[in-house]
Amino acid sequence: MPDVLLERGWQRWQEHFATAGVILLGVLAVLSFGLVVRARSADRAAPAVTTPALAEPTAAQLPIPLPSASPSMSVRPVNSIVTERVPIASTVDLAADGEIDWVHWGEQGRYTLERKADGDFVILEGTPDETRTKVTNSPQRYRWTGGSPLAQATGVTSGVRTCGAGKGFTLTAPATTERTTLRLYLGVSSGRGRLQASLSTGGEIYTDRWAQRGTGLSTAAYTLNYRATGAGKISVQWITEESFGGDCGGVVLFAAALR
C-alpha cells in the first residue's frame, strides 16, 4: 500500500479518536454534574441528626419538693391534770381569783355558801355531809365583792368541816379543750385528808395526801390546771382518810375559785 494512503488513514483515525474523546469527556462531565446536584439535594432533604447537649435544669424544670412526713404542729388536746399544793396567802380576794366563778362556804351557817353573783353556778358541791360543822379559825382572811347572797365581805375566817373517816366534800366544775384552773382553799385538823381529782372524759386520776396531827389546823391551796379532749367536767373529792382524835378529826373546806 502506498505511504500516502497510510498517512491519510492514520489522520482520519486520529480525527475520529479526538471527536470520540471530546464526546466522552462531555458525557462524563454531565454525569459528574448530575451526581453533585443529587448529593446536594439529598443533604438538604435529610437534615443531619445531632445529639443535643445536656443543659442545666431551669427553675421551672427543678423537681418540686414533696411535703415531709413530720407530724403537724397542731397538737390534739389530751386529758391532763397538773396540780400544785402551796401555802395560802394571808389575804385571798375571791373576786379577783375567780374570773369565771368562785364559792365560799360557811359564813352564814354550816349549810350556807356565798358565791359569785354572775358565775352561773359552774362550781357545784355534792350533797352535804350530815356531820358538817362551821369553823371560824382560818389563819387566812377571805374577801369578795359581787357576791350572792352576801354581796361583799372582808376579813372572813369561816369555813366548814366534817368529822370522821370517810367524810368530806365533793366538788365539780366544767372541763373543755381549753386550759382551765381550779384553785381550792382547804384545811385538815387531827386527821389525814386525801384529795382526788379526775376528768369525766378520761385520763389519769390525781391523788394527794396530807396530814395534820394534834388539835391545830393546817391549811393549803391546791391549784389544778386541767384540759380535756372534749366537753366534760372535773370532779374533786376532799375526804378524811383517817381521823387521829375523837374531837371531830377531819378535813375543812373554805373556798374555791375558777379561772
DSSP string covering 129-185: PTT-EEE---SSEEEESSEESS--EEEE--EEE--STT-EEEEEEEE-SS-EEEEEE
- In whole angstroms, how far apart are CA 74 and each of 79, 122, 177? 16, 29, 13
* Minimum mean pLDDT range among 6-20, 167-181, 224-238: 6-20
What are φ and ψ of residue 26, in 5° steps? -65, -45
CA distance 259 to 256: 10
Task: Indicate if the alpha-carbon torsion angle 50, 53, 59, 61 is positive or negative.
Answer: positive
Q: For residues 238 and 21, which has the higher predicted lDDT (pLDDT)?
A: 238
pLDDT reported for residue 49: 43
What b/e sequence results for 205-228 when a residue is b if at least 16 CB atoms lie within 10 Å of its CB, and e otherwise?
A: ebeeebebeeeebbbbbbebebbb
Note the pLDDT tens digit of each residue in 41-90.
444 444 444 444 444 545 444 455 544 444 444 456 789 999 999 999 99
Domain 80-258 CATH (choose: 2.30.30, 2.60.120, 2.30.230, 3.30.70): 2.60.120
CB count, 10 Å around CB of 195? 23
Most confident of 23-37, 52-66, 239-253: 239-253
pLDDT reported for residue 131: 83
Question: Residue 215's pLDDT band (boundaries 50, 70, 90)?
Answer: confident
pTM for this model (two decimals): 0.71
